[in-house]
């Protein structure tokens, strides 16, 4: 191929150890809790009775444009008041409590970075706004976390898109918040910048923070979020691991694509089972629609063995986040 060993990268879970170790142990993430939260503007209901709990780790907030994601993020950051319900971090309401701003770091979608400031200047300014005693040290730490130390003293007008996003993250991290909230952080980034940002988020989550980011690009969310929250037209349509969510969608048959040593024999054997809603032979593959997910997956290997059929490939065909999302958005 291209000179790289085609072998597995066994240690793939490890993050690149490029960041400087933090001077003080990072704060542990605090659970974020929304309870019956609604937010309306006149007759327009942006958020409609949303309740969820965020634990430490990375959660993705998904939804079509206009679904209410930015509103939810603003309420968590304490910038908007819920019309009803409570938004609390570790039990304390986020609204009208200036000390709460220390707990949350918000990376907004909009870019209003003054071009004449250096990155370091911007982060230090934020540190001082937060009332941090040693602003320059805190800023230096934050800048190291996002790996921008070499460019920190250049004017931000010369920053690339990826660098601008990262400096916003540094500004949001400078006060060591327990909760980090990002609005469309991958917008407009190219593949390499995106990988860097994903690594950064994973590293931050690895330190124990609670991270929530919004996106409408599913492949990004699939890569980095451990859990998802799906909002549709202001309502929370689903939450949790998206594979779990898929399994809960029992009113849809689960589709699997198989490549085996003898598709027809296997097809004949499994179509006899009540766990199977239908089989089809398509494009050299065997496509199975399972009516009962748990039962089907439990008996598939046994049936194949009994009939002497080898399974080279078994892929859940509609388990992608894309497919789950499509279903949730339509109902």
Partner 1 sequence: MPLIETHELTKRYPGVTALDALSVAVEPGIVGLVGANGAGKSTLLKILLGLLEPTGGSAEVLGMDTRHEGTRIRAAVGYMPEHDCLPPDLTATDFVAHMGRMSGLPAAAARERTADVLRHVGLYEERYRQIGTYSTGMKQRVKLAQALAHDPRVLFLDEPTNGLDPAGREEMLELVRRTGTEFGITVIVSSHLLGEIERVCDFLVAIDAGRLLRAAPLASFTQLTNVLLVEVEEGSDELVAALVAAGLTAHVDGHLVLVAVDASGSAGAAPYDAVRDAVAGMGLGLVRIEQRRHSLEDLFRDAVELPAGTAA
DSSP 194-246: HHHHHHHHHHHHHTT-EEEEEES-HHHHHHH-SEEEEEETTEEEEEE-HHHHH
Q: Which of 12, 251, 282, 283 binds partner 1 (CB under 8 A)?
A: 12
How far apart CA 69 and CA 61 sit, in angstroms, is 7
Under rule CB under 8 A, residue 93 binds partner 1: no
Write out the two tokens for 150: 């070499």
Write out the two tokens for 291: 């009516």
Stretch of 23-31, 76-84, 189-197, 201-209 contacting partner 1, by CB under 8 A: 189-197
Nearest CB to partner 1, comparing residues 65 and 112 = 65
Under rule CB under 8 A, residue 281 binds partner 1: no
Give, in degrees to the nearest 5, the angle at Cα 69 between 67 and 74: 140
Report the b/e string of 44-82 with b at 16+ CB within 10 A.
ebbbbebebebebbbbbbbbeeebbbbbbbbbbbbebeb
| The residue to which tokens 């080898």 are assigned | 310
CB count within 10 Å of CB 249 equals 17
Q: Which of 161, 250, 268, 278 binds partner 1 (CB under 8 A)?
A: 161
In angstroms, what is the minimal distance from the CB of 217 to partner 1? 7
Stretch of 21-29, 70-78, 155-163, 204-212 contacting partner 1, by CB under 8 A: 155-163
In angstroms, what is the minimal distance from the CB of 315 to partner 1? 6
Q: Which of 24, 65, 99, 112 binds partner 1 (CB under 8 A)?
A: 65
Q: Give the binding-site size for partner 1 (rule: CB under 8 A).
A: 48
In angstroms, what is the minimal distance from the CB of 2 to partner 1? 4
- Which chain residues interact with partner 1 by CB under 8 A? 1-4, 6-8, 10, 12-13, 64-65, 160-162, 188-195, 216-219, 243, 261, 294, 297-298, 300-302, 304-305, 310-316, 322, 325-326, 329
């Amino acid at each position: 191929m291209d000179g790289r060993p085609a072998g597995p990268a066994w240690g793939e879970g490890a993050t690149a150890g490029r960041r400087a170790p933090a001077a003080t142990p990072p704060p542990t993430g605090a659970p974020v809790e929304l309870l019956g939260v609604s937010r309306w503007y006149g007759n327009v209901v942006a958020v409609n009775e949303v309740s969820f709990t965020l634990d430490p780790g990375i959660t993705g907030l998904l939804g079509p444009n206009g679904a209410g994601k930015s509103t939810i993020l603003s309420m968590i950051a304490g910038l908007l008041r819920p019309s009803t319900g409570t938004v609390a971090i570790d039990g304390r309401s986020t609204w009208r409590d200036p000390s709460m701003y220390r707990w949350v770091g918000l990376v907004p979608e909009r870019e209003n970075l003054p071009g004449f400031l250096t990155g370091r200047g911007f982060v230090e300014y934020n540190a001082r706004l937060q009332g941090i005693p040693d602003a320059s040290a805190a800023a230096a730490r934050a800048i190291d976390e996002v790996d921008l130390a070499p460019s920190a003293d250049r004017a931000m007008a010369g920053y690339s898109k990826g660098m601008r996003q990262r400096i916003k993250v540094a500004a949001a991290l400078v006060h060591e918040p327990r909760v980090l909230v990002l609005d469309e952080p991958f917008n407009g980034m190219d593949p390499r910048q995106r990988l860097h940002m994903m690594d950064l988020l994973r590293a931050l989550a690895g330190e124990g923070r609670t991270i929530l980011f919004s996106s409408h690009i599913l492949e990004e969310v699939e890569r980095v979020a451990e859990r998802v929250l799906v909002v549709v037209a202001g309502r929370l349509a689903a939450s949790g691991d998206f594979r779990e969510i898929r399994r809960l969608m029992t009113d849809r048959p689960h589709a699997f694509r198989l490549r085996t040593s003898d598709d027809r024999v296997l097809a004949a054997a499994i179509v006899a089972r009540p766990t199977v809603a239908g089989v089809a032979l398509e494009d050299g593959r065997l496509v199975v629609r399972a009516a009962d997910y748990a039962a089907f997956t439990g008996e598939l290997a046994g049936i194949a063995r009994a009939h002497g059929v080898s399974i080279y490939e078994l892929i859940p065909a509609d388990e992608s986040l894309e497919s789950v999302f499509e279903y949730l958005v339509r109902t």
